[in-house]
């Protein structure tokens, strides 16, 4: 049975699906509804966010591995995500700001970065969400919830602005621990905005009045305006998964105030429990430091690619740290992950595999296929079901790969494991073949010749610098005994 850490209860629990009528179907296996807080599309998504999305992907794959059907909703925030400027004297919408800076419409900006995000998801082999609802296309649903909250006196209007009255929701803080009896601490934790028309500094915006010159605004019962950040996730999760659903995922930075406010407004409106399980991933650090644009240590998947590292190498790297723990990213560690992935592909590509039909979920629920390595399959299943212990599962993979089991049996089990890992190992032989057959560009060939010349002159330090240049351009050199080199794209 899958056991998962629930931020709401602060303990590891057996997973039991709600089987909401909204998502249930007549097909075999229970249906699980997952909502993931998706990207705000005004710039490329960085690897810290993708670590969280890979974690949600692993959770989804483990559920499928256990025989469940999954409906996965991942929103696209293309409106209303207000942020404060560095001097804290005003709020801005980064999508609008980017549109003005680039001389484009907000819709053009959001679509451009949505497309880039989806391409990066594909490169990382993240399973596509069932739906990617956009905030801008669900304004009506948001307004419906706001009207209910106003009718219940859980929200109030001030000159076209609508705020949620935090003190009216008695269970506020149950997710984050920032409860009503800690209101003084809330002020510091929220980094309260400059809004001066609220009853209390901890109250949060559901709807904001728009200035006449604002690019993104909509009609509402309270005049032209735009939604607050938190209301979009409540509206879209409820629309596609129902008022109560199974799992809500996100990064730990979203626990407060975003997820806490989602609970307040959703449960305030419906009177029902919002999400049954809350699963949060830990921060990603860069060389033990928090990511910051001012420090220049924020990286995208494309930037890693340009440095010669595959997106799947980053995926592999995330497996080496438990999803709840802080992950420290270094290029040395990424290099190790790339090497490990390449080695795994090399091993698999040399196996003599008897082609048989691989059992797929839900038969995997037992952990034993009858065709592969039953001992390792059971251990792998136990690891992934133990709060998604992928580091342990990965060590089991390598133990099996190096074992004395027949190659064909190991392949059967490994390819099943890859239903969770998502490293595309069934394509290892074809992948390596294509890599080797790729024509080496003239620029790379010239660098290789220059390096070979330096080696002949025994100028090995310079030759190593040329090797690094070649690697940065996406090619790996391996020197053969007796002379010569093997070149392959990485």
Give pLDDT tens digits for 121-151: 999 999 999 999 999 999 999 999 999 999 9
Cβ 225 vs Cβ 160: under 8 Å: yes
If 0-12 CB within 10 Å is exposed, 13-18 middle and 19+ buried, where does residue 151 land? Answer: exposed
pLDDT band (50, 70, 90) for residue 471: confident
Query: What's the token pair of residue 378?
Result: 């059971």
- Lowest-confidence range among 6-20, 52-66, 229-243, 412-426? 6-20
pLDDT band (50, 70, 90) for residue 87: very low
Give the list of residues 6+ apart from residue 69 with CB closer than 8 angstroms, or none: 25, 27, 29, 30, 31, 32
- Integer Cα distance of 14 and 16 in angstroms: 6
Q: How high is the mean pLDDT of the chain?
A: 88
Give residue 438's region: left, alpha or beta (phi > 0; psi -120 to 50).
Answer: beta
∠ CA 409-414-417, rounded to 5°: 135
* Whether pLDDT at 369 is above 50: no
Cβ 276 vs Cβ 457: under 8 Å: no
Task: Return the beta strands (E) in 263-336 as ranges.
Answer: 275-281, 284-286, 289-290, 327-329
Nearest-CA neighbor of 222 among 209, 239, 205? 209
Q: Is omega for the bond preceding 362 within 30 degrees of 0, making it cis?
A: yes
More confident residue, 162 or 433: 162
Query: What's the token pair of residue 357?
Result: 């039909």
Give pLDDT tens digits for 415-451: 999 999 999 999 888 877 776 656 678 888 888 889 9
Residue 436 φ/ψ, nearest 5 degrees = -70, -30
Query: What's the token pair of residue 208?
Result: 């904001």
Give the pairing type, strands 284-286 and 289-290: antiparallel
- Integer Cα distance of 256 and 273 in angstroms: 18
* Whether pLDDT at 85 is above 50: no
SS3 130: coil
Query: Given this model, what pLDDT does residue 125 score?
Result: 98
Q: Count CB-CB contacts under 10 A for residue 438.
A: 11
Give the list of residues 6+ apart from residue 18 with CB closer than 8 angstroms, or none: 33, 244, 245, 246, 276
Residue 471 φ/ψ, nearest 5 degrees = -65, -40
Give pLDDT tens digits for 172-211: 999 999 887 775 554 555 544 555 789 988 899 999 999 8
């Amino acid at each position: 049975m899958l056991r998962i850490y629930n931020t709401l209860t602060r303990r590891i629990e057996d997973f039991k699906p709600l089987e909401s009528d909204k998502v249930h179907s007549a097909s075999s296996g229970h249906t699980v509804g997952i909502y993931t807080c998706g990207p705000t599309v005004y710039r490329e998504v960085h690897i810290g966010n993708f670590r969280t999305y890979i974690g949600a992907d692993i959770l989804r794959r483990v559920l499928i591995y256990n025989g469940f059907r999954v409906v996965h909703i991942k929103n696209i925030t293309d409106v209303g995500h207000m942020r404060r400027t560095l001097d804290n004297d005003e709020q801005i919408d980064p999508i609008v700001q980017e549109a003005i800076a680039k001389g484009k419409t907000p819709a053009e900006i959001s679509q451009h970065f949505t497309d880039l995000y989806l391409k990066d998801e594909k490169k990382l082999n993240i399973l596509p969400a069932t739906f990617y609802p956009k905030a801008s296309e669900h304004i009506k649903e948001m307004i419906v919830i706001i009207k209910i909250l106003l009718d219940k006196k859980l929200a109030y209007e001030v000159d076209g602005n609508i705020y949620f009255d935090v003190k009216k929701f008695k269970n506020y803080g149950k997710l984050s621990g920032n409860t009503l009896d800690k209101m003084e601490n809330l002020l510091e934790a929220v980094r309260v905005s400059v809004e001066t028309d609220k009853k209390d500094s901890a109250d949060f915006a559901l709807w904001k009045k728009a200035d006449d010159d604002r690019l993104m605004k909509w009609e509402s019962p309270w005049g032209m305006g735009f939604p607050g950040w938190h209301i979009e996730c409540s509206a879209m999760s409820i629309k596609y998964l129902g008022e109560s659903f199974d799992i809500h995922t996100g990064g730990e930075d979203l626990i407060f105030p975003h997820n806490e406010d989602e609970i307040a407004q959703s449960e305030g409106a419906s009177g029902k429990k919002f999400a049954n399980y809350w699963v949060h991933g830990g921060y990603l650090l860069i060389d033990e430091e928090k990511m910051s644009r001012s420090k220049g240590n924020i990286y995208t998947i494309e930037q890693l690619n340009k440095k010669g590292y595959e997106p799947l190498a980053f995926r592999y790297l995330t497996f080496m740290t438990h999803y709840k723990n802080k992950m420290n990213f270094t290029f040395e560690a990424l290099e190790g992950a790339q090497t490990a992935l390449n080695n795994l592909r090399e091993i698999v590509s040399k196996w003599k595999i008897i082609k048989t039909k691989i059992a797929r979920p839900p038969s995997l629920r037992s952990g034993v296929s009858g065709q592969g390595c039953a001992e390792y399959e059971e251990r792998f299943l136990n690891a992934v079901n133990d709060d998604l212990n992928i580091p342990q599962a990965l060590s089991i993979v390598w133990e099996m790969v190096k074992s004395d089991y027949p190659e064909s049996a190991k392949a059967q089990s490994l390819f099943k494991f890859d239903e969770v890992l998502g490293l595309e190992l069934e394509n290892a032989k074809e992948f390596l073949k294509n890599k080797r057959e790729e024509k080496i560009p003239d620029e790379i060939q010239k660098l290789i010749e220059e390096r070979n010349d330096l080696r002949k002159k025994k100028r090995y330090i310079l030759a190593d610098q040329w090797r690094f240049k070649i690697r940065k351009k996406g090619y790996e050199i391996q020197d053969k005994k007796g002379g010569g080199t093997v070149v392959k794209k990485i």
